[in-house]
Structure formats: C-alpha cells, structure tokens
Amino acid sequence: MREDRLGCAGVLLAAAGAAVAAVLTWAPRARVSVHGGFEGRQRDLSVLYVDLPLVAAGGAFVPLAVWLLTLRTLRRPWPAAAAATGALVLGIWGLLSWWTPNRPPEIVY
C-alpha cells in the first residue's frame, strides 16, 4: 500500500510541477495582451480565460499521460519519469516556438 501512495504522490507532484512550469513559461508572452500595449488599445483578455486554462491543462496532462503510458509499458518508474520530463520539455519548447500573442504594429510618428 505504501508504494501505491508513493506513486500517486509522484504523479500529483509531476502534474502540479508541469502545470506551473507551463504557466510560468506562458505568462511573459501573454503580458502584452493583458496590458494592452500602447495606451491599452489592444487589450485581449481572452488569453486569461481561453489560453491560460488550456496551457495549464496541457502542461499537466501531457506529461502525466506520458508518465502513465511509459510506466504501464515498462513497469519501471525512472524511465517513466525521464519520459515525462522529456514530454514537458518538448511541450514547453513547442509552446514557446508556436504560440505568440497578437501584436499589432505600433504606429511611430
């Protein structure tokens, strides 16, 4: 029974850490949409109620799914942890390379 609790704690810790890492990676890029750029004219608050939940859920569930599938296939915790870490790193890299908030050109007089 102790091993089951330890495994559940590891899975929950991995999910929480992955969600926090994904949100902390996402937040600096979303700042432009929240503050609105020049004089707050280009505010887009949909990043808070659409993008933020998707980033947090993806950051938590993708490494968790990889962890569980690898653990079920190999039945060893260390390769599963390595695979989940790799999935998290690749997910954050994909988030940074693909998602860029809308930045309209600023007019310079």
pLDDT in tens, 6-15: 777 777 777 7
Residue 108 has pLDDT above 70, yes or no: no
Task: Please name which of 19, 88, 90 lies closest in space to residue 55, comparing C-alpha atoms.
Answer: 19
Average pLDDT over residues 9-24: 77
Residue 84 has pLDDT above 80, yes or no: yes
Q: pTM (2 decimals)?
A: 0.66
Task: Please name which of 10, 16, 25, 28 lies closest in space to residue 80, comparing C-alpha atoms.
Answer: 10
Residue 1 burial (10 A CB sphere; 0-12, 13-18, 19+): exposed
Task: Please name which of 28, 15, 14, 13 lies closest in space to residue 95, comparing C-alpha atoms.
Answer: 28
Q: Give phi and psi for 92, each to the nearest 5.
A: -65, -40
Angle, vertex CA 88, rays to CA 45 and CA 12, nearest 5: 90
